[in-house]
A = this chain, B = another copy of it.
Amino acid sequence: MKRMLLTISYDGTAYHGWQVQPNGITVQQTLQDALEKLLGERPAVTGCSRTDAGVHARKFACHIDCKDNFPESAFLKGLNSLLPNDIAVIDCREVEPDFHARYNALGKKYVYSMYTGALNPFDSRYMLHLESLPDIDLMNKFCKGIVGTHDFAGFSCSKRTVEDTVRTITECSVKKDGNKIYFEIKGNGFLYNMVRILAGTALAVGQKRLKPDCYNDVFKDNDRSKAGDTLPAFALILEEVYY
């Protein structure tokens, strides 16, 4: 047996997130189906995290254990030929037998994308359309304030299942490129809906519906009602996982 780390890229529009669940097709089970066809047995696939329904990933990571000793290029080509067009395996490599895609992950980068100007269905698939340009400087003031180690309970959905809600954000900023706006965030971990709520709060700040230092009120009492909306999933991309 050898342990393999797979890097996969997917358009999450058609999926109920990463993790297998009873009420819809997930990326994990679609990947398992393809692996079963390729390997003749259904391996366990362990992902670096869950992703919400509709969220995309540029470089999601997961590990599997398998017997075969196929060359990497044949494995990639075979697996991709069995996957639908909206999922691609872009890398695979052997790792130590005790490597774990979730526990070994040091951090992740997410990007929430928005755009202004004329509606465009090609952009609307992956970006939130805004009627007008928010104030990027105000948004960045908010972003600066949440960098660091904090209890993010107030910036997460109450349906979360974890007990420890303290996370460290190492980088957070908003970048503007023409009519496109990117909320980028890196951290050691993220709670349920946390990136979508942080992006929604940054947007509310940029639209002057909340103050740039509103994070103080949210942190103080873990008060979800003081943060912004949970923005829709379709404009969120998991960019990268760091090991």
Contact = CB atoms under 8 A, between A and B. Distances in A.
A80 B119 contact: yes
Interface residues of A, number: 20
A86 B124 contact: yes
A122 interface: yes
A218 interface: no
A90 B58 CA distance: 29
Contact of A85 (B10, B86, B90, B125): B125
A10 B56 CA distance: 21
A118 interface: yes
Interface string A125-136: 110000000000
A197 interface: no
Nearest to A8: B121
The secondary-structure label for the interface of chain A is mixed
Nearest to A13: B125
Contacts of A89: 119
A90 B120 contact: yes
A86 B126 contact: no
B11 A85 contact: no
22 contacts: A9-B120, A9-B121, A9-B122, A10-B121, A11-B122, A56-B122, A58-B122, A80-B119, A85-B121, A85-B124, A85-B125, A86-B121, A86-B124, A88-B118, A88-B119, A88-B120, A88-B121, A88-B124, A89-B119, A90-B119, A90-B120, A125-B125
Q: Which 9 A-B pairs have the closest CB atoms?
A: A88-B119, A11-B121, A85-B124, A86-B121, A90-B118, A88-B121, A9-B121, A10-B121, A80-B119
